[in-house]
Amino acid sequence: MNPGAARPKQTAGRPVSRALDAMSRLVTRTWSLPPRRNRVTIDAGLTVPMRDGTVLLADHYIPAGDTTAATVLVRCPYGRAFPFSFLTAQLIAERGYHVLLQSCRGTFGSGGVFEPMRSEIDDGQDTVAWLREQDWFTGRLATYGGSYLGFVQWALAMDPPPELVTAIVHAGPHDLSRTAYHNGVFDLYNYVEWSELMANQERVSGPQGMYRMATADRRLRPALDAMPITKGGRDLLGAEAPWFESWLRHPDPEDMFWQPLQCRAALDRIAVPVLLITGWHDLFLEQTLEQYRVLAKRGVTTRLVVGPWAHLDEARAGVGIAESLRWLDQYAGPAKTAKTTKIPKAKASARVYVTGTRNWRDVGTWPPPDAAARQEWFLSPGGELTSQPVTGGADATFRYDPADPTPTTGGAIMSLSSGSRDNKAVERRLDVLVFTSAQLELPVEMIGDMVAELAVTRDNPHADLFVRLCDVDPRGRSRNICDGVVRLTERDPLSGTVLVSMVGAAHRFGAGHRVRLQVSGGAHPRFARNPGNGKVESPPSEFVPTRYRIGTDGTSRLYLGGTAPGTARR
């Protein structure tokens, strides 16, 4: 059906419950959402055939009355019940959109076996082919969702359907290989936690799920501490998440194993307006910023919003829904709405929250292109961080022992303890170097890329470097802003310069605060410890410690804000 065809015939369905209707009215006021336009009915349990004969289940959310708005496709592995049905279907359908909420392969009644992200390219295309045959399909298509629901949008964009008019991606990765392995280091906490969630989600009720999330740090600890990692994973997951061990067996992103899970080419193929929403402590922040950079460089209409959130904050608090609904109206809304409703245009293509303040900032692009916005700080003798290089004095040294892995706190993890936390306890350890500036006389604001360039000598070719930027307040609390990790191997010289990206940030250090950089050999249990022997995992009997020396004579520095020079890898 094309956009100029007759208005679609409505399908019968059950009405939204009174409780969910009342909740919608409440969140519309609380979250300042655009006004509701219509009531909604639901045609549940539709069967959508895939090319291999597998049948996926979907629910159709039907706006009352005629509509010329686009149909919104939401493909989800987490079920079609509350809260996903409310946040990703009902609220949208109440604004005049048909919504198809579909359970991904192998989840919540859909046929086949769930293998994370492996079938989403073909399944997305087959779902759109099915949509074309429905008499209620308006001929225009939008996609919506976050996290895994964002990945499936990039999977569909590997061959963008001609009906696609916009995509709204909340913290959605396009390449699982690079989120599972950050510069060669396995993202242990997030993928143990997510695999355990997926293995149990259809057996756990809503209240039980909330309790399990609140106790995740304690419950998962035995699996996170176990070595080899596969043993801990097997003890926790049993046979319910076979993909977890397969990820550990394939640490090389160039391995053909990862190809169906790599949708980087979609960034070069999609041409419709794209809204990107993420948080400074989101585990997919780096890929969202890459998506923005590629699309903006290609001239694709793109909007980036980065808030002070971690991944679960976005899921819990309805982050970005108001902006998403306005974006839908602007690029996919009903014809009558597009003509009569004034949609505020963005003042800039990127909007970021400046942590250390309570302010949002519209910026022209990301990262800010002005090199004058970039600051350089130097790691200096005595654990000082200075604005000018200091010569003389001994280099800083530390020893990393995988048998007693350096811990970390907060940051980009799927936990209630994520985000900005006090790092004082970690910074007292002998295996953590700390470089701290003098108290700032005036506030200092840094917006853009954050990169550590370190002169490193080590006695083991197989080693990791973890760096973290912190803000130390006048009371001595050291709160993390951003961080990064990189794995060194025999391909890297034992002595040389290592660039470690801390991705990006927008932060203001207040007067009387101090800038601090942590340097260590790991961040357990967020990232899997490096056994020191060239393997991803290993029994403790094969662990090899590593000694590091970090140059402090002007050869190690921080690039904070603006656009960092070079490629922050190694």
- Assign 3-class secondary structure to 434-484: EEECCCCCCCEEEEEEEEEEEEEEECCCCEEEEEEEEEECCCCCEEEEEEE
Looking at the structure, tell me whether residues 435 and 537 fall in a common domain.
yes
Q: Which of 205, 228, 250 is the last residue of a domain?
A: 250
Looking at the structure, tell me whether residues 409 and 426 fall in a common domain.
yes
Can you tell me which residue has the tokens 């050869």? 555
Looking at the structure, tell me whether residues 31 and 175 fall in a common domain.
yes
Residue 381 lies in a domain: yes
Residue 568 lies in a domain: no
State the pLDDT at residue 2.
Answer: 40
CATH number for the domain harbouring residue 135: 3.40.50.1820
State the pLDDT at residue 478.
Answer: 98
Residue 501 lies in a domain: yes
Looking at the structure, tell me whether residues 398 and 502 fall in a common domain.
yes
Looking at the structure, tell me whether residues 193 and 62 fall in a common domain.
no
Looking at the structure, tell me whether residues 445 and 521 fall in a common domain.
yes
Residue 448 lies in a domain: yes
Query: Which residue range(s) make up the domain with 350?
Result: 14-179+257-363
Residue 224 CB contacts under 8 Å (≥ 6 apart), including other chains: 188, 189, 192, 232, 524, 525
Residue 458 lies in a domain: yes
The C-alpha atoms of residue 450 and residue 433 are separated, in whole angstroms, by 18
Can you tell me which residue has the tokens 């961040």? 523
**Structural domain count of the chain:** 3
Looking at the structure, tell me whether residues 539 and 402 fall in a common domain.
yes
Looking at the structure, tell me whether residues 426 and 521 fall in a common domain.
yes
Q: Which of 363, 388, 414 is the last residue of a domain?
A: 363
Helix axes 229-237, 216-225, angle to 10 degrees: 140
Looking at the structure, tell me whether residues 40 and 107 fall in a common domain.
yes
SS3 label, residue 64: coil
Residue 410 lies in a domain: yes
Looking at the structure, tell me whether residues 171 and 311 fall in a common domain.
yes
Q: What is the residue-level pLDDT of the chain in tens, covering all 570 positions?
A: 443 333 344 456 899 999 999 999 999 999 999 999 999 999 999 999 999 999 999 999 999 987 788 999 999 999 999 988 999 999 999 999 999 999 999 999 999 999 999 999 999 999 999 999 999 999 999 999 999 999 999 999 999 999 999 999 999 999 999 999 999 999 999 999 999 999 999 988 766 777 787 788 889 999 999 999 999 999 999 999 999 999 999 999 999 999 999 999 999 999 999 999 999 999 999 999 999 999 999 999 999 999 999 998 866 667 789 999 999 999 999 865 544 445 555 445 899 999 999 899 998 889 987 755 789 999 999 999 999 999 888 899 999 999 999 999 999 999 989 999 999 999 999 999 999 999 999 999 999 999 999 999 999 999 999 999 999 999 999 999 999 999 999 999 999 999 999 999 999 999 999 999 999 999 999 999 999 999 999 999 999 999 999 999 999 999 999 877 664 443
Looking at the structure, tell me whether residues 377 and 288 fall in a common domain.
no
The C-alpha atoms of residue 191 and residue 195 are separated, in whole angstroms, by 6
Residue 527 lies in a domain: yes
Q: Which of 335, 363, 391 is the last residue of a domain?
A: 363
Residue 570 lies in a domain: no
Looking at the structure, tell me whether residues 139 and 193 fall in a common domain.
no
Q: What is the 3-state composition of the chain as percent helix, strand, coil, each rounded to the nearest 5?
A: 30, 30, 40
CATH number for the domain harbouring residue 488: 2.60.120.260
Cβ-count burial of 566 within 10 angstroms (0-12 exposed, 13-18 middle, 19+ buried)? exposed
